[in-house]
Structure 1
Amino acid sequence: MIQLVPVSKADKEILHHLYQFYHYDFSQFTQEDINSFGLYEVRLEVYWQDPRWNPFFIYSSGKIAGFLVVLFENYDVDPDPTHVIYDFMVLRKYRRSGIGRQAAKQAFDLYKANWKTAQMSTNEPAILFWRDVIKEYTAGSYTELFREDKNKYVQMFSTKET
């Protein structure tokens, strides 16, 4: 059973630890280096200072299996913001088991909104994952474009009632 649980400020350190794995996995695409303390630079305070940011732990059978962050894009200027899966990470042990797919769908079910996901053009596993999940979730009713300025693929769809 998969559960999305909002990350409280009290659990910030756990999220910080998970972000180390996230940045490690992503470093093959970003070329990011660790700092002199052997860690990736991660700043999480904004998640509890700005209501646009919404971090969730992904639990599987009572264990943390990863995390995701939903950003209410332009919420400061738009009363109907696009919701973005900003960060998404499933621990390697749980990958290819359906947990990420279930977590993504649960996130989409949380909010009736316009949605967007984006992947770096070099991150082929993520591109394939999000295309597949969104195609299944929307029954193929989504749009994809390539943003040359960001070098990213972007998928867009809506969960609003029609």
Structure 2
Amino acid sequence: MEIKLVPVTVEDKEVLSNLYQLYYYDFSLFTDQDVNRHGEFEVNIDYFWEGDHRWNPYLIVISGYIVGFVVVLFENLDTDPDPTHVIFDFMILQKYRRNGIGTAAATKTLDLFKANWKLAQMENNKPAIAFWRKVLKEYTKDNYTERYLSDHHKYIQEFDRRERTK
């Protein structure tokens, strides 16, 4: 099982937009967001391709099948050689969850860039918190920090990948 991270081009924007419908559906358990009168979630990802090169969306593909997506944000691209990258959105289709695909895709994503990394989860999204804690504990050999932002109701994990070898 080889996981590929395929950069999403503007030509594939509709594919990613469709996947975001599923992502927002999953997330509605935690956000209470509703669909609009057309039965769709309000999704606008145009800004990924509108000149701000900090946005890096990828399709997660296995054996030619799209199994999810990840969006990496170069949070402070202008501070190179000390950048911070954020896994902004991450979604594995339900059919492919709980069998190691999400962990493998997360690891492959973190291996893309030698940078400081930051991740965030809403406090009520217990599955995401557990997933990222497990991934980061293994990936960093338990060498990451976590803090809770009470004003935002989020958990934030951070670690430095600049010196890590694959």
TM-score range, shorter chain: over 0.9
Partners of 2:76 and 2:28 in 1: CA distance: 28
Gap runs ≥5 in structure 2:
none
The two structures have a TM-score, normalised by structure 1, of 0.96
Q: What amino acid sits opposite 2:33 in the alignment?
A: E
Aligned to 2:68: 66
Aligned to 1:41: 42
Verify: 1:82 aligned to 2:117, yes or no.
no
- How many corresponding residue pairs? 161
Aligned-CA RMSD value: 1.1
Q: What amino acid sits opposite 1:158 in the alignment?
A: D
Aligned to 1:112: 114
Q: What secondary structure does 2:4 align onto?
A: strand
Q: What secondary structure does 1:41 align onto?
A: coil
Aligned to 1:121: 123
Q: What secondary structure does 2:71 align onto?
A: strand
Aligned to 1:25: 26
For residues 70-117 of structure 1, the C-alpha deviation after alignment (integer angstroms, 9 at most, x for no partner) is 001133x53333100000000000001111101111111100000011
Consecutive aligned runs of 4 or more in structure 1 exceeding 2 Å deviation: 77-81
Aligned to 2:162: 160
The two structures have a TM-score, normalised by structure 2, of 0.94
Q: What amino acid sits opposite 1:67 in the alignment?
A: F
Q: What amino acid sits opposite 2:35 in the alignment?
A: I
Partners of 1:46 and 1:38 in 2: CA distance: 23
Q: What amino acid sits opposite 1:30 in the alignment?
A: T
Equivalent pairs: percent with the same residue?
57
